[in-house]
Structure 1
């Protein structure tokens, strides 16, 4: 099995787990984000040596900064910011804009489906309820996996 296939499988498994946890618990645990970040940085090194490690780490740092801004503006939850940064470590910093656009587009589609479903089912929840919030970890996972598949073509 080629290293890129393993890279895609690990990204898919960790992203999928994050999406499921966010959907059903509205939590993206630290252990998952740390494991993802370590895996992403490891693959950065294995695929492109020290330069790859540096570019993957830089992308993680930039994504953490973006995630922090989105969190401070009330757009993201704290877990979403960590999950975004961890997902970013699977890609070099040259893919910052591509990953952000992929996740934003996935988030837009998720929001449309989410609000249509809530309206269709006439769901009425208090705004403080975690399950009233959009599980953006799903969009982060879909955007990450979509970019990974796109870059492998």
Structure 2
């Protein structure tokens, strides 16, 4: 049962956040809340030491402080900040968090460039009525960074501590 939660909840939340950000330019509060609650329940049941458990939440707090500053300066959306912090809790205060942040930043940069090019192209005018592309085509809209956070999370999740634990349990 624990393995199923580990295999399903995080990837589902990352996909949901990416798709909802693309469709509505928002990431619902229930996504980071679900990530935090499931981690808080599942991690101790895996035998994670309390010190490591605390460091996972310290990672989330550290990322939330940084992203809240970016949000306050207008450099990032509130949903993105909360999603980043909740994802940091799953990754922990270790190299996996750095991998996630670097991957998401790189993907976010590529996404931003692609959206800027798309917005200047004639294709944006033709496809701006499409539900999936309307915010991407709108020059007044920001960049739905939840897409990059979702993809970055999915790419780096297989090496995260809970996923490694779950895979080891299945292998034994």
Task: Sort the TM-score into its range (normalised by shorter chain).
Answer: 0.7 to 0.9
Rg (Cα) greater in structure: 2
Superposition pairs for residues 9-88 of structure 1, below 5 Å?
A: 9-47=8-46, 48-88=48-88
The count of residues paired between Structure 1 and Structure 2 equals 148
Worse overlay, 118-127 or 31-40: 118-127
Q: Look up the match of 2:89.
A: 89
Worse overlay, 52-61 or 113-122: 113-122
Shift of 1:22: 0.7
Shift of 1:60: 1.0
Worse overlay, 14-23 or 44-53: 44-53
Q: Is the 8 A contact 2:119 2:138 kept in 1?
A: no
Report the TM-score, using the length of structure 2 for normalisation. 0.75
Shift of 1:150: 4.3
CA RMSD, Structure 1 to Structure 2 (Å) = 2.3
Q: Is the 8 A contact 2:43 2:53 kept in 1?
A: yes
Report the TM-score, using the length of structure 1 for normalisation. 0.83
Q: Is the 8 A contact 2:108 2:149 kept in 1?
A: yes
Runs of 5+ in structure 1 lacking a partner? Answer: none
Q: Look up the match of 2:106.
A: 105
